[in-house]
Each structure stands twice: as C-alpha cells, then as structure tokens.
Amino acid sequence: MPDKADPSERSASASWVQDAWLWPFEATRLALDIYSQWYPNRAPEPADASGDAALPWTTAHSVALQLPSMRLLDFSSAVEGPPLLVCAPYALHRAQIADIAPGHSLMEALQQAGLARLYLTDWRSAAPETRYFSIDTYLSDLNVAVDTIGPPVDLAGLCQGGWLSLLYAARFPGKVRRLVLSGSPVDVSVPSELSRMVASLPQQGFEAMVRQGDGIVSGKHMLQLWSIPFSLPDVEAALQRRLDGKSEDARALLDRFTRWNSETLDLPGTYYLEVTDWIFRQNRIAAGDFVALGCKIDLAAVKLPVFLLAAENDIVVPPDQAFATMRLLGTPPAWLRRETEPCGHLGLFMGCRALAGSWRRIARWLQSDLGEAAGERSRISA
C-alpha cells in the first residue's frame, strides 16, 4: 500500500480526533439528560469481562505480570539491555493503540529499531471491585511493574500515559533512566480543545455521571450515547496510509482500526474524577500542587533526559501545550530533545510515517551515549 495519505489529512485528522478523543467529556452533557430519564429504570447488565480484548494483538508477547489494574506485557527479544516500558493511555481505549496492525505498531517499530527489552502497560477495564481505584493506585501498580522489570527503566508515555509517566519519574527518580512524552498533556494552562471542554463543564456534572454509573464510567454506554463518526479519510489520516478499500490488506487494516475504536474500557469513577478535576481543571501537576503517593511533586526536581514528541495538527494536545512541559523540568538543556511530526494526535502512535521517522530517532536517542550531557549534569550537581 502507498505510504502517502490523502491530501485532506490535516482536516480529516482534526475532525476525527476531536470526535474520538473529546467525546467522553462532551457526552457528559448528553449523559446527564439521558440518564435522568433512562438509567434509573434500566435492567442490570452483566459486568464486562476484564480479560483479553477481542481484537488480537499484532506483535508476539508474553504476560510478565497480572494485577487488578493491568497486565504487564513483555515484547522483549533479549534479556540484556536497558528496558523500555511504554505506558499506554488509560482513557477509554485499549492498549492496542501501540500495536494496532503490522506497519502501524509502535511496539513492532521499536523492536525493528533495535530495542531488545520492551514492555507495555495493558490497563484493565474497571469492574465493581476496582471502581474506587485512583491515580495513586495506578502509580503504585506502575511501580510494581517497574520493580518486576528491574529498575532503572526507560519510560515512554503516550497521551495521558505521559502525565502518569512524568508523575512516576518525579516520585521515583532513581527508577527511571530516560523519559519520552508523546502527545502528552501536562500544563493545561496552554489551551487545547480537551482542556477547554473539561473547563466548560461543572465538576458536579462529572460527579453525577459517576454516581449514576454506580462508580464506573462505562465506555460502551458512552459510545452508545455519543456516536463517533469517522470517514475513510479520517482513518487514512490516523494511519498515514491510503486505504482504497479494494485490496485485502486495506480491508483488513480498516477492520482492525474499526474494531479497536469500538472496544472501549470502563474507567473507575474515582480515577476519572481525579483526572478531570486535578489534571485538566486545577492543573495541579504544572502548578506544583500534585501529591503522588504521599509526596508533593516538584517537576523542577526532574533532571533526567527527556524527549518530547508532538503532532503538528494535534487539537487534543497541540505542540505548544506538549512542549510547555520543558520549562517546568529541571533537566539540563543538553538532555532535552523535542520533535514535531506532521500529523494529528492518533498519527503519533499508529501513523506509519511517524513510526518510521520520529520513533526511530527516539529509539536511537534511547540507545545513545549522553556522555557530554552527563558531564554538564555533574557540573550542575556540584
């Protein structure tokens, strides 16, 4: 299949990403109206299974650890070398965002770039027994995953997995060697469609939705309330590949994307409310007011090497917001790297050109010797 996407990539990417990534917040408006009439009288539904997703994985792996919050997937091809843990976003879609299809798999691309020890967080759908899980719960379990791998690790956070990874690196500085933040919202004082959407809704609305869902934000129910329209050009923009619909490969790729998009995760109500209020409304991480596992987080104390990747056409986490994180860190300039990809939000994680471009450079950066920067860091420490 050709590598070049349709010329309408920019507008298609923006329209689809806005629908696909902002619907949980916009749907709250509809949910409050519809729940008040329908939800109290509905018949009980069986709890969704928290096991494997129906969509098969693309890249071979094993399960290194199972916790109520997640499975730690091991994509390693060797036992030696610095480990990289990819932290998927916990935001209503499954971790196959990093392994959606051949040629569009971040895990596959990192393997091909020579990273031999690779891991991925596969967050589980919320269940009644996990509905009170909080950000601290996920930080604690991420710490268990890192200890299972063996610290220090390199940590790559995708979208909302980025702020979680940054919090972890700040809370456990000795356990992270290098940090990658890809399309990650941290300082939401720099506006985006996502931060504007959350700010436009009262927190009481989110709280009412969680109460009416018995402490769980249902991904399936939210999809029923808010249909996510996307066209073929939208999918082509995300994958950065033309899909003519005639070849078997094109049909299979479109099917995988469609299935991934439809297989949502339920979120614990406690976690969801903390994210909407603490991260996107109060901007606690950037303001220096976030307390993680009992410790107040100071991003100026984060001095490890950091690579930031942003998408040029991203309305969810625009480049200005993604790169605003740099000014909050204590990392020496020689250890900071930033790049922009000409794509939209999803293109950062599954676009064939982004995977062959920036992510290969990220892999080389992770493998490189930062000796000169280490000397600068020593002088600063002295």
In terms of C-beta density within 10 A (0-12 exposed, 13-18 middle, 19 or more buried), how is residue 44 classed? exposed
% the chain with pLDDT above 90: 69
- Tell me the one-letter amino acid at 263: E
70-74/118-123 β-pairing: antiparallel
- pLDDT at residue 362, rounded to an integer: 98
Contact yes or no for 86/158 (Cβ under 8 A): yes
- pLDDT at residue 377, rounded to an integer: 39
**Radius of gyration, CA atoms only, the chain:** 20
- pLDDT at residue 225, rounded to an integer: 58
DSSP string, 262-308: H-B--EEHHHHHHIIIIITTS-HHHHT--EETTEE--GGG--S-EEE
What is the pLDDT confidence band of residue 206, given thresholds at 50, 70 and 90?
confident
The runs of H, that is alpha helices, within the chain are: 9-38, 106-112, 135-149, 160-171, 193-199, 203-212, 219-225, 232-239, 248-262, 269-274, 284-287, 319-324, 347-350, 352-356, 358-367, 371-381
153-158/176-182 β-pairing: parallel
- pLDDT at residue 33, rounded to an integer: 59
Q: What is the CATH number of domain 9-34+51-227+263-377?
A: 3.40.50.1820
Helix or strand holding residue 370 (H, E): none
- pLDDT at residue 228, rounded to an integer: 56
What is the pLDDT confidence band of residue 256, given thresholds at 50, 70 and 90?
very high
* Averaged confidence pLDDT in the chain: 86
SS3 28: helix
Q: Which of 25-39, 130-144, 171-185, 329-343 is the least confident region?
A: 25-39
